[in-house]
Amino acid sequence: MPQDWTDDVFAGGHAGQTDLANMEKNFQCLKTCFSGTSAPSNPSAGMWWLDTTNHLLKQRNEANNGWINVWDVANGRPADGVVTIDSCAAALKSPAAGTEGLRKLGTGATEACAGNDSRLSDTRTPTDGSVTQAKMAYAAGDCLIIANDAEVDHSTPYQTWTKVKETRVVRNGTLRVKFDFRDSFNAGNDFCKARVYRNGSPVGTERSSTCAYVTYSEDIAGWESGDLCQLYVYSYDMSRHALVKNFRLYGEFYQEEENTLT
């Protein structure tokens, strides 16, 4: 293909046929990106050259003293040194621990993001950078996760354990469950009971009522994602009401839960 570019194509004293031939050659240079086995002899900054020996599309650099490899036309991808090789080299994918880089997934310590490790005071914190259900599990703490605070006054049915509050759990682990509980009478104790349940089965300590609100707190383990954390109450006498409020779940970090009132 033509590679010789003629700048002085037209002048009054030129032969018309010669000028037309040079114009046609110039158009062919542009059309083929100066395609050839060697570089054009009179390059300019910014011009293109299709190197047919190395199968590379190149562009003249701004200083007009070299060529930049842009596209591998044989394989239809960016040329080496532009994107795929230099910027994603193996040394950048898996550098030493603590060194920034583009990391790949894998099973080795370095490949599993060893440089991005973190450690807190508890043993559940990841030391290899990987994420597992166990490392994301709840641990009992004083950070409020969700609050179901509305007061419930339960009177019927009596002498039957009845669910009054319910919250769905989204992670595994241990939760700190708190609630306020009292009897409806102003005198006398132990006429009503309250207890934390999981999926309809008792897991918490059975609490007895008093005439004034008492806050009960208990760390309960064994929760799994999707479990229902529930509060049940029991009245021995239909004239005695069980009152509960501030049913709350606590852990080490904040996570919104799905909350269902019954």
Nearest to 106 by CA among 118, 94, 92, 119: 94
What's the confidence (pLDDT) of residue 179? 97
The confidence score (pLDDT) of residue 116 equals 47
In angstroms, rounded to a whole number, what is the distance separating the alpha carbons of residues 23 and 26? 5
CA pair distance 232, 174, nearest whole angstrom: 19
What are phi and psi for residue 90, nearest 5 degrees? -60, -35
| pLDDT digit string, tens, across residues 119-159 | 444 444 445 555 565 667 888 899 999 999 999 998 778 88
Length of the chain: 262
Highest mean pLDDT out of 16-20, 107-111, 164-168: 164-168
- Range name among 26-30, 132-136, 180-184 with the lowest pLDDT average: 132-136
Local confidence band at 196 (pLDDT 50, 70, 90 cut-offs): very high
Domains of the chain, with CATH numbers? Answer: 16-78 (no CATH), 143-261 (2.60.120.680)
Half-sphere exposure of 240 toward its Cβ, with a 13 Å CA cutoff?
22
Q: Which of 113-117, 148-152, 221-225 has the lowest mean pLDDT?
A: 113-117
**pTM reported for the whole predicted model:** 0.50
pLDDT at position 185: 79
3-state secondary structure of 86: helix
pLDDT, residue 78, reads 84
pLDDT band at 262 (very low <50, low <70, confident <90, very high): very low
Please calculate the CA angle 250-227-180 and round it to the nearest 5 degrees: 40
Query: Residue 169 — very low, low, confident or very high, per pLDDT cuts 50/70/90?
Result: very high
Angle (CA) 222 228 230, round 5°: 100
Per-residue pLDDT at 108 exceeds 90:
no
What pLDDT does residue 115 have? 46
Quick one: what percent of the chain has pLDDT higher than 70?
70
For residues 153 and 35, what is the distance between their CA atoms, to the nearest angstrom? 87
Residue of 225, 235, 251, 43 lying closest to 140 (CA atoms): 251
Q: What integer pLDDT is reported at residue 2 of this predicted model?
A: 66
Average pLDDT of span 61-77 = 90
Question: Which residue in the block uniquely carries the two structure tokens 């409806």?
Answer: 184
Distance in angstroms (rounded) separating the CA atoms of residues 232 and 248: 14
For the stretch 230-260, pLDDT in tens is 999 998 877 788 999 999 999 985 444 444 4
> Higher-confidence residue: 105 or 57?
57
Q: CB neighbours of 108 closer than 8 A, spacing ≥ 6? A: 94
192 - beta bridge partners?
Answer: 235
What integer is the mean pLDDT of 189-201?
91
Mean pLDDT of 98-114: 53
Alpha-carbon distances of 132 from 128, 171, 191, 227, rounded to whole Å: 11, 11, 46, 19
Beta bridge partners of 48: 59
Contact criterion met (CB below 8 Å) for 133 and 223: no
Distances (CA, A) of 124 to 18, 95, 119, 173: 83, 26, 9, 11
